[in-house]
């Protein structure tokens, strides 16, 4: 029989917490929390993405926000039961604010809140037309010269951006821009997405030939339309490109392909952007109120400037421009770098018959895909999880409920287990001279992704080629000089080369703001991504959330959206609601606007 006691305990706590908030008794509300507590808010109280750490920060936020948030109706979410194990009671909760409905997750220790996640689901009076409220589509009845759905769509497309202005302009129509565009469409926010490529999905299609997603299908769904049950676990890049193109069409997005944003300026007085975009050889000026850069967090290429690069007589390019291996059979290829792209490209070159050497300057973390899927993602994003009743929405929220400050503590044991399980594999890599790491604090791949967005490879086969020497390795060396037909390394050795691939990663997204708006605005908003963990490539101070992503920035009306498919899906919900509120003129007093400590 289901133990009802946890429900009673959680309901009692929620009653007490809710009553204190309703009474404006902040001290009492704060006593509902443990001393060591985390309240992660996705837009409901803070109009920001913000984690309050400890009672003092909770108090400070409530002092600033409670009066206008007016929360109410705290309850265990309908159809859910709290569960208790190992001294931890957890459950799903629902609540309301004056303007929105919220859903959340809570963990109690000793009857007090240890972690609280509050997320905005919808704005009251501005719900998405879904379920009982879905559009009719057909207009029953009759009338002379009634426009069809197609004619209405064509009219909208012909007028938006010309006769009428979009409220929101999204620059970049990769999966990030597309997912956000879909949500804004459902929320009725007039939006245009401009994409310089010819077709939606091209940002995937144009990557190197051998690329398949490194994350499995359960992690990758877009909002509204899940991949079908027979979709492959790891989408080949062209297949995901086609899916995005289909999605863009059926979700009725105003998607301007072959259109490049050239410049953007903000008028503080008019509260409006002027954005010049170029398509079909013509400049068009758009005047959106809100501007989102969804230009890719892995697309601002970091190309090194080595001495002598100009004198190289073979082919050389950044990994993002690598066409694939076909032209390099029998050629000598040098791949500079040792993370994901470097491994994928090196393996494909080897398969095509090239003689490949990888140059590894510093340590890299490697997780075997199979092990990562089981230990890292299995409980939330796997067929087993789905069969056990886990939904994508719940998995995303559970993931979001773990505060960044302590996330590494959950990751460290998982990676210790991986290290043990794949000990032979790691021994082989070390024997081949590969320099491994597990992150500064042994917390592995996902923390590296959040902290610096780089420094790892999810092994899908290339490591075996390094272990057996098929891909040659030069590690612990740097490039000293590029010569006409070779790469000279810091240890004095020289690698003959017909092809050099610089798999040297990507720069911070505010670099896009520098290109499009100004260096001054790029510096004003500062570095994107990273938590301020004071680990390699993620300098402190501690920020508590990813810098600048999906939340207000120091530049009014400028937003950054991106990340992997999981993040694009999940955080587009919260960015779209922030934009919708502004579209409707709903007050959005932002709490804890992030300070800028690093320029990029």
Ligand X SMILES: Cc1cc2nc3c(=O)[nH]c(=O)nc-3n(C[C@H](O)[C@H](O)[C@H](O)COP(=O)(O)OP(=O)(O)OC[C@H]3O[C@@H](n4cnc5c(N)ncnc54)[C@H](O)[C@@H]3O)c2cc1C
Stretch touching ligand X by CB under 6 A, among 167-175, 322-330, 331-339, 571-579: 167-175
Verify binding: residue 211, ligand X, rule CB under 6 A.
yes
Neighbours of 212 (CB within 10 A): 15
CB of 186 to ligand X, least distance (A): 19
Verify binding: residue 528, ligand X, rule CB under 6 A.
no
Are 341 and 319 in contact, with CB atoms under 8 Å apart? yes
Footprint on residues 325-354 left by ligand X (CB under 6 A): 340-341
CB of 375 to ligand X, least distance (A): 18
DSSP reduced 3-state for 370 = helix
CB of 568 to ligand X, least distance (A): 6
CB of 348 or CB of 487, closer to ligand X: 348
CA dist 213 and 225 (Å) reads 18
Among 171, 372, 522, 546, binds ligand X (CB under 6 A): 171
CB of 308 or CB of 600, closer to ligand X: 600
The residue whose two tokens read 């089981």 is 374
Closest CA to 520 of 600, 584, 401: 600
Verify binding: residue 213, ligand X, rule CB under 6 A.
yes
Among 21, 184, 286, 294, binds ligand X (CB under 6 A): 294
Closest CA to 390 of 379, 402, 400: 379
CA dist 389 and 387 (Å) reads 5
Footprint on residues 560-589 left by ligand X (CB under 6 A): 562, 564-565
Are 509 and 548 in contact, with CB atoms under 8 Å apart? yes
Stretch touching ligand X by CB under 6 A, among 152-160, 268-276, 465-473, 557-565: 557-565
Verify binding: residue 181, ligand X, rule CB under 6 A.
no
DSSP result, 13-58: HHHHHHHHHHTT-HHHHHHTEEEEEEEEEESTTTSSEEEEESHHHH
The residue whose two tokens read 């953007």 is 264
Among 197, 248, 339, 594, binds ligand X (CB under 6 A): 197
CB of 483 or CB of 570, closer to ligand X: 570
CA dist 63 and 73 (Å) reads 20
CB of 234 to ligand X, least distance (A): 8
Verify binding: residue 314, ligand X, rule CB under 6 A.
no
CB of 553 to ligand X, least distance (A): 16
Footprint on residues 241-260 left by ligand X (CB under 6 A): 260
Among 91, 161, 166, 176, binds ligand X (CB under 6 A): 176
Among 90, 96, 128, 215, binds ligand X (CB under 6 A): 215
Verify binding: residue 501, ligand X, rule CB under 6 A.
no
DSSP result, 499-561: EEEE---B--THHHHHHHT-HHHHHHH---S----SBTTB-SS--SS-TTBTS--SSTTEEE-
Among 22, 64, 165, 299, binds ligand X (CB under 6 A): 299
Verify binding: residue 203, ligand X, rule CB under 6 A.
yes
Q: Which two tokens stand for residue 27?
A: 């001290």
Per rule CB under 6 A, count of chain residues that contact ligand X: 30
Stretch touching ligand X by CB under 6 A, among 60-68, 81-89, 203-211, 417-425: 203-211
Verify binding: residue 184, ligand X, rule CB under 6 A.
no
Neighbours of 595 (CB within 10 A): 10
Verify binding: residue 22, ligand X, rule CB under 6 A.
no
Q: Is the peptide bond before 101 cis (omega within 30 degrees of 0)?
A: no
CA dist 15 and 561 (Å) reads 36
CA dihedral 254, 259, 265, 271 (to 10 degrees): -10
Verify binding: residue 359, ligand X, rule CB under 6 A.
no
Closest CA to 53 of 43, 41, 65, 64: 41
Binding residues for ligand X, per CB under 6 A?
A: 171-177, 194-197, 203, 207, 211, 213-215, 260-261, 294-299, 340-341, 562, 564-565
């Amino acid at each position: 029989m289901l133990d009802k006691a946890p429900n009673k305990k959680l309901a009692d706590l929620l009653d007490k917490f809710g009553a204190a908030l309703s009474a404006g008794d902040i001290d009492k509300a704060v006593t509902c929390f443990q001393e060591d507590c985390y309240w992660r808010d996705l837009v409901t109280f803070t109009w920001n993405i913000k984690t309050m750490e400890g009672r003092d920060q909770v108090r400070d936020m409530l002092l600033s926000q409670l009066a206008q948030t007016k929360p109410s109706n705290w309850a265990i979410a309908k159809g859910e039961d709290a569960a208790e194990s190992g001294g931890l009671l957890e459950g799903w909760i629902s609540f309301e604010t004056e303007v929105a409905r919220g859903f959340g997750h809570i963990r109690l220790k000793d009857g007090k809140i240890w972690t609280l996640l509050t997320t905005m689901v919808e704005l009251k009076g501005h719900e998405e037309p879904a379920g009982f409220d879905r559009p009719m589509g057909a207009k029953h009845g009759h009338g002379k010269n009634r426009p069809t759905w197609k004619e209405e769509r064509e009219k909208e497309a012909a007028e938006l951006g010309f006769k009428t202005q979009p409220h929101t302009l999204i620059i970049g129509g990769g999966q990030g821009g597309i997912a956000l565009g879909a949500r804004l469409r459902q929320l009725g926010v007039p939006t245009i997405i401009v994409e310089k490529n010819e077709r939606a999905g091209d940002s995937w299609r144009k990557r190197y030939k051998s690329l398949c997603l490194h994350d499995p299908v359960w992690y990758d769904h877009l909002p509204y339309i899940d991949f079908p049950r027979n979709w492959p676990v790891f989408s080949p890049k062209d297949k995901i490109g086609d899916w995005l193109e289909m999605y863009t069409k059926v979700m009725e997005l105003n998607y301007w392909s072959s259109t490049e944003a050239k410049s953007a300026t903000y008028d503080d007085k008019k509260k409006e952007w002027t954005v010049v975009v170029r398509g079909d050889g013509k400049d068009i000026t758009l005047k959106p109120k809100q501007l989102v850069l969804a230009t890719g967090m892995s697309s601002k290429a970091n190309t090194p400037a080595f001495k002598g690069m100009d004198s190289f007589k073979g082919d050389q390019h950044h990994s993002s421009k690598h066409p694939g291996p076909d032209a390099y059979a029998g050629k000598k290829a040098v791949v500079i770098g040792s993370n994901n792209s470097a491994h994928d490209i090196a393996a494909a070159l080897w398969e095509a018959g090239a003689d490949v050497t990888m140059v590894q300057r510093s340590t890299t973390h490697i997780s075997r895909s199979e092990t990562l899927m089981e230990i890292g993602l299995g409980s939330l994003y796997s067929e087993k999880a789905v069969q056990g009743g886990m939904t994508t929405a719940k998995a995303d929220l559970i993931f979001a409920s773990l505060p960044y400050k302590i996330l590494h503590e959950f990751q460290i044991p998982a990676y210790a287990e991986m290290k043990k399980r794949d000990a032979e594999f790691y021994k082989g890599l070390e024997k081949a001279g590969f320099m491994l790491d597990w992150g500064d604090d042994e917390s592995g791949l996902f923390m590296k992704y959040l902290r610096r967005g780089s420094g790892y490879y999810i092994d899908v086969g290339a490591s075996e080629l390094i272990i057996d020497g098929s891909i040659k390795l030069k590690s612990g060396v740097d490039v000293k000089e590029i010569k006409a037909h070779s790469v000279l390394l810091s240890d004095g050795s020289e690698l003959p080369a017909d092809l050099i691939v610089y798999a040297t990663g990507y720069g911070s997204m505010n670099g896009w703001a520098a290109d499009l708006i100004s260096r001054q605005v790029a510096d004003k908003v500062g570095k994107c991504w990273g938590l301020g963990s004071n680990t390699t490539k993620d300098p402190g101070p501690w920020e508590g959330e990813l810098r600048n992503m999906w939340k207000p920035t120091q530049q009014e009306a400028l937003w950054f959206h991106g990340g992997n498919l999981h993040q694009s899906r999940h955080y587009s919900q919260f960015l779209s609601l922030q934009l919708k509120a502004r579209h409707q003129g709903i007050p959005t007093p932002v709490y804890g606007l992030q300070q800028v400590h690093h320029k990029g």
